[in-house]
Amino acid sequence: MAFFKGDRHREIIDQLSTAGTIGLHLVCSTFVGMAFGWYLDKWLGTKPWLLLVMLIFGIIAGFRNVIHEMQRIQQADKKLDQKINGTGHEDEKNDS
Amino acid sequence: MAGGLPHPLVIFRELNIALGADPAAAAGSALDPMIYPVPTHVWFTWLAMAILLIAGLMVRRKLTLVPGGLQNFFELVVGGLEDFVVANIGEKGRQFMPILVTIFLFVLTMNYLGLVPGCDAPTANINTNAAMAIFVFLYYNYVGIKTWKAGYIKHFLGPMPALAPLMLVLEIISHLARPLSLTLRLFGNIRGEEIVLVLLFVLAPLYSTLPMYFLFILAKSIQALIFFMLTMIYLKGAVEHAH
């Protein structure tokens, strides 16, 4: 459990694991959307159309997931910066 | 250790035969003593449960104010995870601690079992992971419905009323993708690691597998942490206000 000791260490691991989840979220949403459309087509008998529509929805949902994850990582990154550099607000004032 | 490849897991084969499997019946069929009457990955899941139960009982039997040895280790793990959860969910997160720590320790134990020679990681079989992922999916939805009653639907509708039907479809898809991605991530990582270990063992038995052990100890811990962390994030999403 070496990576539970340092606070900074833990946050880096946290970010690393968040980054590791992005790719599969994108792919899985696409496939779930496609499977949704496939079975709806089978049920309603509207052969190719619902599959295509739900596939596109799945892709949109996947990219939405990626955007949300990125926002989470950015927020965590800001927090980490503030922790390492003391208060981050003073730096921003100096820059502007 | 072999991730489902042909390998000698002698103990559980013999156990299955003792339980009534017939090795003379067609090998490779559904009556194979490796998977009948109890499949190997279920044996190893039970082994992981037994290890955790015995460790828990050992810690509980001699609790001291100044922790030492095993108690120290568990206090470090549980304390670290509790800080992590409270930092993310807030004080509300403490009610989920038992389930979250159980998930972490259970997945961690099962992952490490794959590194023990002669053992097989139950998480290298997709059924174990799917069971856990479906449990997580049902549990966070249960928590969401319990917390918000009918208002839980707002979590699926997004911020704008005009786009609500579209968002409903998108959210349902992305919620259903969660158990799938949880399952596939853990399965792919652990299975892949086991296959790499076997291949390296074929190439150069000791010198190549020993360094990989250290890498895989880290990777397997991170996979357990990811499963725990995603469960926590989903619970957080169910407990928080819809925005």
Question: Mind telling me how many Å the CA of A93 is from chain B's nearest CA?
Answer: 27
Q: Which residues of A fall within a CB distance of 8 Å from B77? A: 1, 4
Q: Which residues of A fall within a CB distance of 8 Å from B73? A: 1
pLDDT digits (tens, 9 = 90+) for B170-186: 888 989 999 999 999 99
Spatial distance between the Cα atoms of B109 and B227, rounded to a whole number of angstroms: 13
CB B140 within 8 A of CB B240: no
Question: Mind telling me how many Å the CA of B112 is from chain A's nearest CA?
Answer: 13
* Domain residue ranges in chain A: 21-85
pLDDT digits (tens, 9 = 90+) for A44-68: 888 888 899 999 999 999 998 889 8
Kindly state whether B82 is in contact with chain A, defined as any CB-CB distance less than 8 angstroms.
no
Q: Which residues of A fall within a CB distance of 8 Å from B80? A: 1, 4, 10
CA dihedral B186, B189, B193, B195 (to 10 degrees): 90
pLDDT digits (tens, 9 = 90+) for B79-105: 888 888 888 888 888 888 999 999 999
Question: Mind telling me how many Å the CA of B167 is from chain A's nearest CA?
Answer: 9
pLDDT along chain B (243 residues), means of 10: 51 74 64 71 89 90 79 87 86 88 93 84 89 94 89 82 85 90 91 87 81 87 89 89 70
**ipTM topping 0.85:** no
